[in-house]
Amino acid sequence: MYHLTIHTQFAAAHNLIHYQGDCENLHGHNWKVEATVCARELDRSGLAIDFKILKRETKRILELLDHKYLNEIKPFDQMSPSSENISRFIYEKLSEVLNNDNVRVERITVWESDNACASYTAD
Distance separating alpha carbons of residues 62 and 75, to the nearest angstrom: 14
In the chain, the percentage of residues whose pLDDT exceeds 70 is 100
Using 50, 70 and 90 to split pLDDT, how confident is the model at 20?
A: confident
Q: Which domains does the chain have, with CATH numbers?
A: 2-120 (3.30.479.10)
Task: Judge whether 86 and 110 are in contact, CB under 8 Å.
Answer: yes
Q: What's this model's pTM, rounded to 2 decimal places?
A: 0.95
75-121, pLDDT tens digit by residue? Answer: 999 999 999 999 999 999 999 999 999 999 999 999 999 999 999 99
pLDDT band at 25 (very low <50, low <70, confident <90, very high): confident
Closest CA to 75 of 67, 64, 59: 64
The strand pair at 2-14 and 68-69 is best described as parallel
